[in-house]
Chains A and B, each alone.
Chain A
Amino acid sequence: MTGHAPAKRPNQLFRNLNSKIASIPMILIAVGIFFGGSIWTIIYSFTNSKLLPRMSFVGLDQYERLWSTSRWIISIQNLAIYGILSLIFSLLIGFMLAALMDQKIRFESAFRTIFLYPFALSFIVTGLVWQWILNPEFGVQGIVRSLGWESFTFDPLYNPDIVIYGILIAGLWQGTGLVMCLMLAGLRGIDEDIWKASRVDGIPMWRTYLFIVIPMMRPVFITTLVIIASGIVKVYDLVVAQTSGGPGNASEVPAKYVYDYMFQAQNLGQGFAASTMMLLTVAIIIIPWAYLEFGGKKRG
């Protein structure tokens, strides 16, 4: 038994010393920033820090104030609408495009290049382009009106009730290519024999997709879902570029709330409380997924 055990060096700490030294940045980042930083923010969200972080605890005051601020409520509502619709549509469009692309079509790489290129662009560029296209005077609305339909109104960026849908259009344009790519990879992973078997059994294609292929692609769907969802929570630049949160504060989002309170309004406590809420949102999405994915082996 003991014969095979490697001889131990006298000091555990100096084993693999070079590797440990090389890993110092990683350890610092993981423990210091990701872990420590998050804890720090959570702790300071219970203080009444204003311009500078201060250790004077006020319990849940910041959270009470947060949830009684209409701007935060609007932010959360926007995030919910944007998030749910963005999830549904990007999965739907992404999967449909991937299914079409999987039909052994010609020019596949050309189509893929076209669908994916917006993903290479920044949210700022995306936001500004769609701000221009949705411009009521010169953009889509203006064109339809000039064609003779005088009463046509489509001005999402100037109408507080529908502004979030204007942002959604831009967001989908930027992000669905990625979903398509992931779904396509998933579809390519399905065994060709499954298709042959279902063809032999005479099952129509749409039923094969719905009842065989999609259930088989469950892991791909879940991974994609988590990726889109954690991206949605972070949405910030798109709104800044497209509407700057306007008209009024109709298109505010939590990430922008955090930024404005931390770096503009000099109300750090509010910023920390809001960012902790964002963390909570992500945790609600991630923890069940991590639990499913790793079966409690590697827990978050």
Chain B
Amino acid sequence: MANISTLNTTAAGFDAVAADVSGPRGRRPKRALSRRNIILYGTLFVAALYYLVPLYVMVVTSLKGMPEIRMGNIFSPPMEITFEPWVKAWGEACTGLNCDGLSRGFWNSVRILVPSVVVSIFVASVSGYSLANWRFKGSELFFSILIIGAFIPYQVMIYPVVIALRELGVYGTLTGLVIVHTIFGMPILTLLFRNYFASLPVELFKAARIDGAGFWQIYFRIMLPMALPIFVVAMILQVTGIWNDFLFGVIFTRPDSYPMTVQLNNIVNSVQGVKEYNVNMAATLLTGAVPLIVYFVSGRLFVRGIAAGAVKG
């Protein structure tokens, strides 16, 4: 019995060799339309549809007139394309306080965004640099507290921050909100910069030290130019994060300087008047446009940013 089976395997081996010699080499080429591929791409396609439908619905709804929306199907493409909802959302939509549309919120958001991004990235990059290259007693302890702080719900720390800002006299002002964004952006950004600076060759730092460069000189003339990619990642992270913020906007600003997200919510969820779904969707798209553009332009860097954000701790 054993003999026969050995014989069989050998025979099979011979066959394989024969096939190898005579026929074309390599594995049998896969057919493009195998059952596996149909299932694979089919599933991916259906999933992609689920993710794309809301975007499609937003665009389609925002291009319809109200009569067409009332007739019925949110998925049907517009019979008559109109840009009026966009104009209205930008310049005329009402929040209950005023009727000058989302443009006010947009500019408020820009005013909040620019200083917040600059300040938070500067503070965090210097801290990260300090942690990576100029350790002092206790620096790692402070860093650990910072990282643990990333997991504490904002609600726990928000009132002490309100009091601190009130004491400083900046509660409700732009400066106050910039400080808040700097505080809550710190853990992830510091981690990002610390890890990046720590990955740079230490010889570089040592050489600069021997040449007599000090803390700030090394930071501005060596570290900063070398860390440009990580600055871009940090910017992506902060621009989308701060633009999308709602909680801090609602707590730390006054109604006339509400950021775009807060204003959008007030426009759409305001109870008075007839609901204009097309204007609402145009407003929603306008608010989502900034992070979406950042996302589509930055591509891989965005993924890198969130991956960096994900491995905190």
| Residues of chain A at the chain B interface (Cβ within 8 Å) | 12, 15-16, 18-20, 22-23, 25-27, 29-38, 40-41, 44, 53, 93, 96-97, 100-101, 103, 105, 109, 111-125, 128-133, 135, 138-139, 142-143, 146, 173, 177-178, 181-182, 185, 223-224, 226-227, 230, 233-234, 236-237, 240-241, 244, 254-255, 258-259, 262-263, 268, 271-272, 274-276, 278-279, 282, 286, 290, 293, 298, 300
Contact = CB atoms under 8 A, between A and B. Distances in A.
Interface in B127-164: 127, 129-131, 134-137, 139, 142-146, 148-149, 151-161, 163-164
B142 A132 contact: no
Contacts of A271: 155, 159
Contact of B153 (A93, A120, A177, A275): A275
A25 to B, nearest CB: 5
Contacts of A119: 306
B153 A255 contact: yes
A34 B190 CA distance: 14
Interface stretch (B6-14, B45-53, B90-98): B45-53
Contacts of A27: 142
A227 B143 CA distance: 19
A38 B157 contact: yes
B302 A120 contact: yes
Contacts of B61: 132
A120 B294 contact: yes
B126 interface: yes
A16 B281 CA distance: 54
B155 A128 contact: no
A44 to B, nearest CB: 8
A241 to B, nearest CB: 5
5 contacts: A22-B129, A25-B123, A223-B310, A258-B155, A286-B148
B156 A279 contact: yes
Contact of A290 (B123, B296, B313): B313
B251 interface: yes
B87 interface: no
B292 A117 contact: yes
Contact of B54 (A38, A124, A173): A173
Given A38-B152, A223-B310, A237-B261, 17 more contacts: A23-B142, A25-B127, A32-B164, A100-B43, A120-B302, A122-B287, A124-B246, A130-B54, A132-B74, A139-B74, A142-B74, A181-B306, A185-B307, A262-B155, A278-B156, A279-B153, A293-B313
B244 interface: yes
A138 B61 CA distance: 11
Contact of B303 (A116, A226, A259): A116
Contacts of A240: 246, 265
Contacts of B296: 113, 117
Contacts of A124: 244, 246, 261, 264-265, 287
B243 interface: yes
A120 B151 contact: no
A173 B50 contact: yes
A132 B265 contact: no
A105 B144 CA distance: 41
Interface residues on B, range: 35 or more
A30 B143 contact: yes
A173 B127 CA distance: 35
A294 B149 CA distance: 16
A289 to B, nearest CB: 8
B224 to A, nearest CB: 13
Contacts of B129: 22
B192 interface: no
Contacts of A19: 130, 134-136, 139, 215
Contact of A120 (B127, B134, B247, B292): B292
A26 B58 contact: no
B118 to A, nearest CB: 14
Contacts of B146: 26, 29-30, 34
A169 B170 CA distance: 39
* Most A C-beta atoms less than 10 A away, residue of B136, B139, B284: B284
Contacts of A121: 244, 288, 291-292
Given A25-B127, A124-B261, A278-B156, A237 B292 contact: no
A37 B180 CA distance: 13
B299 interface: yes
Contacts of B57: 129, 132-133
B16 interface: no
B290 to A, nearest CB: 9
B44 interface: yes
Contacts of A34: 145-146, 148-149, 152, 157
B280 A181 contact: no
Given A128-B268, A226-B313, A16 B134 contact: yes
Contact of B126 (A22, A112, A274, A275): A22
A182 B123 contact: no
Contacts of A300: 144, 148
A236 B123 contact: no
A278 B307 CA distance: 26
Contacts of B302: 116, 120
Contacts of A178: 306, 310
B107 interface: no
Contacts of B154: 234
Contact of B244 (A123, A233, A263, A293): A123
B40 interface: yes
Nearest 9 interchain pairs by C-beta: A34-B149, A122-B244, A19-B134, A18-B215, A37-B160, A120-B295, A37-B157, A26-B127, A30-B145
